Structure 1
């Protein structure tokens, strides 16, 4: 697993509220360019975000599906972006002082990206996920007025 983490100066419930808003994903998930639809009941297991990945006009239309959820604590997804493959992503939230420590762990589970050695995958995934957490933090803090 490749992991990035960040402390956000907001309660875990405020962070999870953004994760539970599927329409916000294009605002913080690096590479996601457009949300086409969010299944009713998101983020229940099995529900999907229908998204586009990449810049227009070269974007790929695909989905990400919830594989597990503990409201206020964690969210696990399989993020797809064929023909590139798909990745298992787990976001965990822990109280940290007056804020939240969020961890984002990822590993490729399908597709050609699995052939890349983990250190090479980390060169791409770690900075991308650190940027995603920075964007997520901005959205959380913007919504909370902090």
Structure 2
């Protein structure tokens, strides 16, 4: 009888620990990342796919916001970007010092993961002499792994 109780207790512990193992192997990857403003446009489009291989999921995320007119490379912050409705994911995006960017993705349970590019990831190019003849775009890697933040 004691052996049977010990087996049940062991199975309960193993069952409870399995989701934790799944979480540690649940990488969040990004592909097809882009953010930019086209010439003559007043909109900035930021979009990417969030890929979770362990869950066999690819979740599209995107945001359209007003663009900033500037002679220096500048992408407008996205404080509350949306991912596929019902997925439970949201994102924020902002340009940081040295023309680098930071992407943060959160799930409904509060798990957070980030990517910070290297310097020079945002550029501006001109297609003419007018103030609206410029394009500002992210030119860094389009595929990368997000780094998960430690849970509290």
TM-score, normalised relative to structure 1: 0.38
**Radius of gyration: which is bigger?**
2
* Structure holding more helix per residue: 1
